[in-house]
Amino acid sequence: MRRHSLFNSINVSLNTIFALFCFLPILLVFIVSLTDEQTILKNGYSYFPDKWSFDAYKLVFTGQKLIWNSYMISIIVTLIGTVLALLVTAMAAYALANKQMKYRNTWAMYFFITMIFSAGLVPWYMICGKLGMKDNILSLIIPGLIFNPFNMFLVRNFMAAIPDSLMESAKIDGANDATIAFRIYFPICKPVLATIALFYGLAYWNNWFNAIMLVDNQNLFPLQYILFKLQSEIAMLSQLQSSVHSDPPGESLKMATAIITIGPIVFLYPYLQRYFIKGLVIGSVKG
């Protein structure tokens, strides 16, 4: 018992130190985002700045309806896109994991080829235009909806480890493929699906390329594209909030945009964490 208690104490101490080292960079980013620009230029990044300033956050948020609108667009696109992409990926993985499906290895090779070869940007842009994905909300969702083959193979391999007897028993009871997928396979695959959901969520949340290529209406600009423009166009900075400072806060603005963009993902992770833990231990105990 004493050895066990000593091990737990050492384990907790090491994990606490590791968590602290992981948290310190984030804390520094937050502090720098609240530091006066001249102080940053003079002393560099510091946990204890000489002068504090909210100029960066004022520049981003104060009176800027466009920023709040882009935040809402990013949230809507991320939620809808993640759900749809996860659904498409899970259904494709279920089909390829089904040993009774004809030519499933041929289809798997077809998907695998897309991981190696790409048609390029011009055909992608032409197809998006032909399908009507131009200057609308679909242009931010559909191009990223085509599932990542790597994610699909990850889910397929997870499903392939499920005993075939479950599917056979369900079919004997009269269940069709839709019932088997949604009521048996997908619930069992929650750990891997949660991981894939985070991958898709991050991809949609951080995507600004689709907005550059397919969107001209500023009311449809996602948050990442707006922040990209804030950092790359000094003229736009002065137009957005010229009253804050004659010299826009460049360094603190970079840190402020980092804090703003990671917020939703940081809040999302705790809800998915239990599935990650379950995924790590799955298969370690014989059932």
Does the pLDDT at position 72 exceed 80?
A: yes
Does the pLDDT at position 283 exceed 60?
A: no
Q: What share of the chain is helix, strand, coil (3-state, %, to 5)?
A: 75, 0, 25
**Helix boundaries (H) for 146-207:** 149-160, 164-172, 177-180, 186-188, 190-205
- The pLDDT confidence band at residue 33, using thresholds 50, 70 and 90, is confident
Which domains does the chain carry?
65-224 (1.10.3720.10)
Does the pLDDT at position 119 exceed 50?
A: yes
What is the secondary structure of 30-76 as a DSSP string?
HHHHTB-HHHHHHH-S-SS-SSB--HHHHHHHTT-HHHHHHHHHHHH
pTM of the model: 0.75
Instruction: List pLDDT tens digits, range 208-252.
Output: 888 888 888 888 888 888 777 766 654 455 455 444 445 556 677
pLDDT at 87: 92
CB 224 within 8 A of CB 207: yes
Cα distance between residue 179 and residue 206, in whole Å: 34
CB atoms within 10 A of CB 81: 22
pLDDT at 244: 47
